[in-house]
A and B are shown apart, each in its own frame.
Chain A
Amino acid sequence: MKLPPFEVHRPSSLYDASRLLRDLGGDGVPINGGTELLLAMKLGLAQYDHLVDLKRVPELRGVRPISTSVSIGAGMTHRELEGSPVIAEAVGEMPRMLAEVANVRVRSVGTIGGNLCFADPHSDPATFLSAVEATLVLGDGSTSRRVPVDQFFLGAYETVLEHGELLVEVTVPAVPVGTGIAHMRMKVHERPAVTVAAKVTLERDTIVRARLVVGSVCGAPVLPQAIDKLIGASRGTWSERVREVAAASAAAVAPVADAEGSSRYKQALVEVFVRRALDAALANASGFTR
């Protein structure tokens, strides 16, 4: 429960940070807000002799609108993003989701990139960003690649990042008219016990696209196939279809039992929150405010 000694490095460019991490090999780890890493180190779950502090890397900063999406620097804190008018304009649900992450102390130093890269199974941003089809830009200062959020996670605490490769930015598509997004979560302790995010698109009162992500109950966010049942549903029938999707989604996930709840309970919660999230997303898409 005591932080072991370590050395801190403060590179001032993405290239330097990446090279430093590659040179340090397994002894080095990137750090930004440190809200997850330092805790893991205090608990003895992780040990590194070198921390590469990314707070002075300019490439990781900023929020920029780019045609139909928003580009968010991975080093932005939750708190900075909560208040961003650019994000509020493009993805209205996102500030509300961010405002529910952990607590204000964590949000003031914890970053969106840090949250994703740590790949804690109990993550609101991971679930939400998967639902809204965000794309991640990974790079090392000389090359870069783009990975959809739902392909970024390999499991609990595991991502596709290569050693020395850093998450640089998160690109979130703006929500077009006719598309509704909803994010719901429930927590028992500090971390969410279940997180559900949904995105549905309507054309003339018919569901033409639907996306559903269930987070915090398995090692990584899950995208239940059952959501496809919603496609083609119209206003008269979607309420019943939503219930079918909820039941099928719950049956399809195999929640991990932990301090947040038993597998059975979490399965029941998945059904409840999938239903509520889809109902809410449909209401949003229909132009109603909840």
Chain B
Amino acid sequence: MTQLLEHPAKSSTAVGLDVDRVDARDKLAGRAEYTGDLHPPSMLYGAVLRSQFAHAEIESIDTSGAEATDGVIAVLTGDDLTDLDPYYGHALRDRPIIAIDKVRFVGEPIAVVAAKSQTIADAALSAIDVSYRVLPNAATLDRALAPGAPLVHEGPVRPGLAHGLGKLPEREGNICYRYGFSFGDVDAAFARAAVVVDDEYVFPAVYQYSMETHTTIAHHRGREITVWSSCQHPFLVRQEISELFEVPLDDVRVIVPYLGGGFGSKSYTKMEPLTVAISRKAGLPVRIMNRVDESMVTTRRHNMKCRMRTAASAEGQLLGRVVEMWLDTGAYADNGPRVTATAGDAAPGPYRWEAVDVKAQCVYTNTSPAGSYRAFGATHLQWIGESQVDEVARRLGLDRVEIRRANLLARGGQVRPGAKGLDADLVGDVDKVAAALDWSSPRPLHRGVGLAVGLLAAGAHPVSMATVRLGADGGVSVLVGTTELGQGARTVMGQIAAEVLGLPPSRVVVRGTDTSYTPYDRSTGASRSTTVAGKAVEEAAAQVLEELIETAEATLGVARDELVVSEGRISGGGAAMTYEELIERRFGLKGGELIGHGHVGPRGGSGGFADGPVFWEVCVGGAEVEVDPETGIVTVLSVSTVADVGKAINPLLVRRQDEGAVMQGLGNALFEEMRFSDDGLLLNDTLLDYRIPSFEDLPASMSCTIVENEDGPGPFGAKGCGEGALAALPAAIVNALADAGVQMTELPLTPERVWEKIHSQHEIPKNDSKEERYQ
């Protein structure tokens, strides 16, 4: 097989360069097509009737009024699905396509109208009568976990088709999944501790808030199903649709144009089954395009409560940590089990513990389902674990950087039993953050500085395929199932292929996924695209290059080690031939193409993917904050992150990824919180009262240092990026605020919450002494 390093030397044409995003011009000019821009012939418009109750039996649904409305073509309810096994879910197969007999959260779809216009469809919803019998609900974690709690689900657990979690435990009450691990003698570690930090913490439900809402068009035409969707994982959607509607995999075609952001909200399967089901009934293509308030109850980040204890010796050696957490996955598991496992993995933090005990529970409640959101699990736990490390240092009078340097895992160290050893230089990363923050310089009252380091199990399941085609004009097209959702995937995949082939990136085209033609890719998430899909692209391009070299050897009559590949031509023996000429020579006409295939898998394929996780994404960052003790307002003055990426294929995009993650980290730390009523109704489903960060909230100073140790399993030593900073930022901000005198144990750090904390403790100096600062 292809051996990359045996190819003739060539200088870099693409990798490591700040190549402009290939989608930027089309997006800025409004030419880029999103699912909502598409309009297959005879397309109908769908509108979804959603439950007003968190937990209720559906006694009856009368759709006759809607069906009789002029322009309405079909109305779907649970009664239309009796010929199918209508339950799906990649982790647990617990979710009906549409409510059947029972609703489990406010916003759950009960009926769908397909009509000739959106106006007609929307209006027809009010002509549907639903009769409910309201049940006691478990709309909060505490209520769901209480003895005798109303059960969100009854009946046995059915594993989903892509859970990847080994043998699933039985459900106990509303706990749908448990994860845990332990090592060492916890009791002994705590017994000899000089310091034990012990507290309880609350993390809120957060919405991913991509600009584009979930949008799907489906056409079920008997045997074949075509789906155009704003989805991150087209191949997993294809698989679930295939199983649900009982058609062969190849007869389901999922087409993914540009996405207006995802952040995990469009991972796995969301609105696709419902859209296919209404199309099946209508016999025509139907579009369902969520409003923002509908997308907010389609998926969200898990809220969580957690108790953590950390033990340390008098010298500052971290001895033991015990963590128990409960993540609220809402009415359906979605990706909750994986989020729970990843949170568990993140709980110890990257330290050399003597003993650790982690227990993580994933809990059903009668609220909207929770799934993936950028840096899940790590974001939940890092601020908790890192605030305890800071507290240990404070109590022992140690420097907070020094305690980390003394306790951090070294390269190769055990992060978790049975997992890949540490593949990064964490001390180096922490030192860079500290230096960027001017760590040791004195700060005025009410200001504080904090940093945090953690690890995120990244890469998901490493299965990706790619095809690279070199056409008769010397242009390259890359077929790869990575979804472009704003992160720059198409640009980076193009750079990888260009680099291998010695071409400028402008000669390479990467288009969106069409599962009928694009080779399989497991998913776009878990920071895996550059590392895993990128590796497949590298291999595929290398195969094409190999064919070019073979052709050149034969044509030029020169041995391969005397050939030079440069600028779209191969030269040797005093002659040079362009790729076009080589292809013409190979096929005997101005036509044909060279095709290369690449594949990555846990076994076979390239090395480095055998042990999980694919890599440990480093989550490291720091912040300086100022708190106004009179109002509780926290201002982030500066932020510093380190992107430990192995090799930056595109340094500009690496920085943009870190900046985006920083902004979302600010939102998670300071503003964002979905507030539910006691009856499970989402109270803040507009931007008027769900606050996301805007440019006004940008810190005055932001720095991102790129670390390139070429220690990743991806192409050119790369590993993924873009999530770590989101996990690190809330932790850094919480620690900086504690350094300023306010130790918080609940996010977000809203002014009122911080003010309440200040006014319930008396460590902050009264405002009078600092009067001048506020005038």
Q: Is A186 an interface residue (CB 8 A)?
A: yes
0/1 per residue, A178-211, Cβ < 8 Å to B? Answer: 0000000010111100000000000000000000
Pairwise interchain contact B688-A188, C-beta atoms closer than 8 A: no
Determine the residue in chain B with the shortest Cβ distance to A186.
B631
Q: How far does the Cβ of A38 sit from chain B's closest Cβ, in whole Å?
A: 13
| Complex CA–CA separation, A1 to B751 (angstroms) | 29
Residues of chain A lying within 8 A (CB to CB) of residue B775: 276, 279-280, 283, 290
Residues of chain B lying within 8 A (CB to CB) of residue A189: 688-691
Which of B746-775 touch A at CB < 8 Å? 750-752, 755-756, 759, 774-775
Residues of chain B lying within 8 A (CB to CB) of residue A259: 675, 683-684, 689
Q: How far does the Cβ of B293 sit from chain A's closest Cβ, in whole Å?
A: 6
Q: Is A2 an interface residue (CB 8 A)?
A: yes
Determine the residue in chain A with the shortest Cβ distance to B694.
A103
Determine the residue in chain B with the shortest Cβ distance to A191.
B688
Residues of chain A lying within 8 A (CB to CB) of residue B750: 188
| Complex CA–CA separation, A1 to B686 (angstroms) | 10
Pairwise interchain contact B755-A276, C-beta atoms closer than 8 A: no
Pairwise interchain contact A269-B631, C-beta atoms closer than 8 A: yes
Determine the residue in chain A with the shortest Cβ distance to B751.
A188
Interface residues on B, range: 20 to 34
Most buried by B among A43, A191, A268: A268
| Complex CA–CA separation, A269 to B686 (angstroms) | 25
Q: How far does the Cβ of B26 sit from chain A's closest Cβ, in whole Å?
A: 24
Tell me what chain B mostly uses at the interface: helix, strand, loop, or mixed. loop
Q: Is B603 an interface residue (CB 8 A)?
A: no
- Count of A-B contacts with CB under 8 A? 47
Which of B655-676 touch A at CB < 8 Å? 675
Q: Is A261 an interface residue (CB 8 A)?
A: yes
Pairwise interchain contact A190-B755, C-beta atoms closer than 8 A: no
Pairwise interchain contact A190-B691, C-beta atoms closer than 8 A: yes
Pairwise interchain contact A261-B688, C-beta atoms closer than 8 A: no
Which of B209-224 touch A at CB < 8 Å? none
Q: Is B435 an interface residue (CB 8 A)?
A: no
Pairwise interchain contact B293-A1, C-beta atoms closer than 8 A: yes
0/1 per residue, B686-708, Cβ < 8 Å to A? Answer: 11111100100000000000000
| Complex CA–CA separation, A73 to B19 (angstroms) | 50
Determine the residue in chain B with the shortest Cβ distance to A266.
B752
Partner of B633, one of A1, A39, A186, A279: A186
Residues of chain A lying within 8 A (CB to CB) of residue B684: 259
Which of A235-290 touch B at CB < 8 Å? 259, 261-262, 265, 268-269, 272, 276, 279-280, 283, 290
| Complex CA–CA separation, A186 to B630 (angstroms) | 12
| Complex CA–CA separation, A279 to B773 (angstroms) | 12
Q: How far does the Cβ of A139 sit from chain B's closest Cβ, in whole Å?
A: 32
| Complex CA–CA separation, A261 to B756 (angstroms) | 11
Q: How far does the Cβ of B35 sit from chain A's closest Cβ, in whole Å?
A: 19
| Complex CA–CA separation, A131 to B394 (angstroms) | 48
Residues of chain A lying within 8 A (CB to CB) of residue B688: 39, 189-191
0/1 per residue, B105-123, Cβ < 8 Å to A? Answer: 0000000000000010010
Chain A interface residue count, CB cutoff 8 Å, equals: 23
Q: How far does the Cβ of B296 sit from chain A's closest Cβ, in whole Å?
A: 11
Partner of A265, one of B689, B694, B756, B774: B756
Pairwise interchain contact B631-A190, C-beta atoms closer than 8 A: no
| Complex CA–CA separation, A1 to B122 (angstroms) | 10
Q: How far does the Cβ of A39 sit from chain B's closest Cβ, in whole Å?
A: 8
Determine the residue in chain B with the shortest Cβ distance to A194.
B631
Q: How far does the Cβ of A230 sit from chain B's closest Cβ, in whole Å?
A: 17
Q: How far does the Cβ of B630 sit from chain A's closest Cβ, in whole Å?
A: 5
Determine the residue in chain A with the shortest Cβ distance to B688.
A190
Determine the residue in chain A with the shortest Cβ distance to B774.
A276
Q: Is B192 an interface residue (CB 8 A)?
A: no
Residues of chain B lying within 8 A (CB to CB) of residue A103: 694
Q: Is B291 an interface residue (CB 8 A)?
A: yes
| Complex CA–CA separation, A279 to B630 (angstroms) | 15
Q: How far does the Cβ of A82 sit from chain B's closest Cβ, in whole Å?
A: 16
Residues of chain A lying within 8 A (CB to CB) of residue B683: 259
| Complex CA–CA separation, A5 to B120 (angstroms) | 12
Pairwise interchain contact B689-A272, C-beta atoms closer than 8 A: no
0/1 per residue, A1-25, Cβ < 8 Å to B? Answer: 1100100000000000000000000
Which of B257-299 touch A at CB < 8 Å? 291-293
| Complex CA–CA separation, A191 to B690 (angstroms) | 11
Q: How far does the Cβ of A157 sit from chain B's closest Cβ, in whole Å?
A: 15
With A186-B631, A259-B689, A290-B775 in contact, do A2 and B751 touch (Cβ < 8 Å)? Answer: no
Determine the residue in chain A with the shortest Cβ distance to B690.
A189
Residues of chain A lying within 8 A (CB to CB) of residue B759: 268
Q: How far does the Cβ of B211 sit from chain A's closest Cβ, in whole Å?
A: 15
Q: How far does the Cβ of B628 sit from chain A's closest Cβ, in whole Å?
A: 9
With A188-B750, A265-B752 in contact, do A2 and B122 touch (Cβ < 8 Å)? Answer: yes
Residues of chain A lying within 8 A (CB to CB) of residue B291: 1-2
Pairwise interchain contact A262-B752, C-beta atoms closer than 8 A: yes
Pairwise interchain contact B691-A272, C-beta atoms closer than 8 A: no
| Complex CA–CA separation, A283 to B751 (angstroms) | 27
Q: How far does the Cβ of B687 sit from chain A's closest Cβ, in whole Å?
A: 7
A-B contact pairs, 13 of them (CB 8 A): A2-B291, A5-B119, A103-B694, A188-B751, A190-B688, A190-B691, A265-B752, A265-B756, A268-B630, A268-B759, A269-B631, A276-B775, A280-B775
Q: Which chain B residues have a beta carbon within 8 Å of chain A's beta carbons?
A: 119, 122, 291-293, 630-631, 633, 675, 683-684, 686-691, 694, 750-752, 755-756, 759, 774-775
Q: Which chain A residues have a beta carbon within 8 Å of chain B's beta carbons?
A: 1-2, 5, 39, 43, 103, 186, 188-191, 259, 261-262, 265, 268-269, 272, 276, 279-280, 283, 290
- Nearest first, the 7 A-B pairs at minimum CB distance are A272-B630, A259-B689, A265-B752, A190-B688, A189-B689, A189-B691, A261-B752
